[in-house]
Structure 1
Amino acid sequence: MVGEKRSMDWGFPRWRDYGASREATNVRICDRHNCNEPGNCPAPKAVGTNERWYFCEKHAAEYNKGWDYFEGLDKAEAAARAKQEQSENAGYAEASHYGWSGSGDGSRSADEMRALELLELEPDVDFETIKKAWRAKAKLVHPDVKPGDEDAAKQFQAYQVAYDVLKQAEERRSWRG
């Protein structure tokens, strides 16, 4: 008894510090070549199989970067699938910043993506580019330039609404920090 150390957990293992257990733990290493980080993010190896790659967070993000949920669907099918999924999940509240937006980095809402599509812009443009594109398109169909043209007036209103959506989103982003 002279050389033994007394355990500090008094028989209650949950009182130990995190990671202070005496047993060896199995840590799966990232499946990416030459990566020694823990591979705790499973990713499917192929469609319809249960085989998985196990990546670290960095390589999991790289693996999923170009993944498009609506790939291969036309706009009508994509809209129908999004509507079906929203109706199936009607019991869960959807956050205001979340929505299926197609391409982009996920920071823009579906309304913002539609506005950018109307202005014929990429999802990752800055606000100055949005403003320039809006001005150029609005000048072409402004009611002062095309008086009495109802189609031009509707188009001008659509551009104005798109710009307002993007401007409000930009203000929210800059206000948050």
Structure 2
Amino acid sequence: MPKARRSDDWGFPRWRSYESSRETVAQRECDRHGCGDPGLCPAPKSPNNPDKWYFCQKHAAEYNKGWDYFEGLDKEEKAQRAKSERQESAGYAEASHYGWTGSGDGSRSADEMMALEVLELEADADYPAIKKAYRAKAKEVHPDVKPGDEEAAKQFQAIQVSYEVLRAAEERRSWKG
């Protein structure tokens, strides 16, 4: 009776002999016309559509540059979608301090972006510009300037809260750096 041979196909990684072969796997090509690179980066074909294009990294960056994920949604739907996106990606927030980015390129939180919108500033505004805009807007609607005006009081309160959000974010950034 022949002696049983021990299998080479055990453990990790699976050790196989040179004679055994693995079949080739068809790799998807970039959907950009004329590009033969592997299409590993999915991108939506249109807003709120599950169908996707598959681009190489270079063409995915080019395609997504002007993409508005919330296009076609009304204000309530945008808020709902943004809230669900934040909840789904909350686990990634722990690693945000590993980023190498500066202001205006995605490093600001949604609260900071809303605060900048209240102060009518761009996403890449630096702290002196924020301080200047805050002071100018606060002078316009301050309760001492417009006594008894409830709308001005609400605007002043929104401006104050926005400035506090941005000031706290600036303190966190300067404390880390």
Verify same fold: TM over 0.5: yes
Q: How many residues align?
A: 156
- Contact 1:97/1:107 (CA < 8 Å) preserved in 2? no
Q: Which residue of 2 aligns with 1:118?
A: 118
- For the aligned residue pairs, the C-alpha RMSD in angstroms reads 4.0
- For residues 106 and 128 of structure 2, the distance between their equivalents in structure 1, rounded to whole angstroms, comes to 20
Counterpart of 1:148, as a letter, is P
Deviation at 1:96, TM superposition (A): 8.7
Q: Which residue of 1 aligns with 2:90?
A: 94
- Contact 1:118/1:159 (CA < 8 Å) preserved in 2? yes
Alpha-carbon distance change, 47 to 159 in structure 1, aligned in 2, over 3 angstroms: closer
| Aligned counterparts, 1:153-172, within 5 A | 153-172=153-172
Deviation at 1:71, TM superposition (A): 1.3
- How far does the alpha carbon of each residue in 1:17-47 deviate from its partner, in whole angstroms, 9 at most, with x for none? xxxxx86665544343565643211234467
Alpha-carbon distance change, 81 to 153 in structure 1, aligned in 2, over 3 angstroms: same
SS at match of 2:90: coil
SS at match of 1:42: strand
Alpha-carbon distance change, 33 to 13 in structure 1, aligned in 2, over 3 angstroms: farther
Counterpart of 1:68, as a letter, is D
- How far does the alpha carbon of each residue in 1:105-153 deviate from its partner, in whole angstroms, 9 at most, with x for none? 5432222122112112223323332222111101222344x16335334
Alpha-carbon distance change, 72 to 96 in structure 1, aligned in 2, over 3 angstroms: same
Deviation at 1:13, TM superposition (A): 9.1
| Aligned counterparts, 1:22-171, within 5 A | 26-32=26-32, 35=35, 37-45=37-45, 52-82=52-82, 85=84, 94=90, 105-144=105-144, 146=145, 148-151=147-150, 152-171=152-171
Deviation at 1:164, TM superposition (A): 1.0
SS at match of 1:60: helix
Farther-moved stretch of structure 1 (57-66 vs 162-171): 57-66
SS at match of 2:78: helix
In structure 1, list runs of 5 or more residues that go unmatched: 1-9, 17-21, 99-103
In structure 2, list runs of 5 or more residues that go unmatched: 1-7, 15-20, 95-103
- How far does the alpha carbon of each residue in 1:67-97 deviate from its partner, in whole angstroms, 9 at most, with x for none? 22321223233234445x47xx97x682595
- For residues 134 and 92 of structure 2, the distance between their equivalents in structure 1, rounded to whole angstroms, comes to 25
Alpha-carbon distance change, 125 to 94 in structure 1, aligned in 2, over 3 angstroms: same
TM-score of the pair, normalised by structure 1: 0.62
- For residues 126 and 74 of structure 1, the distance between their equivalents in structure 2, rounded to whole angstroms, comes to 30
- For residues 120 and 47 of structure 1, the distance between their equivalents in structure 2, rounded to whole angstroms, comes to 27
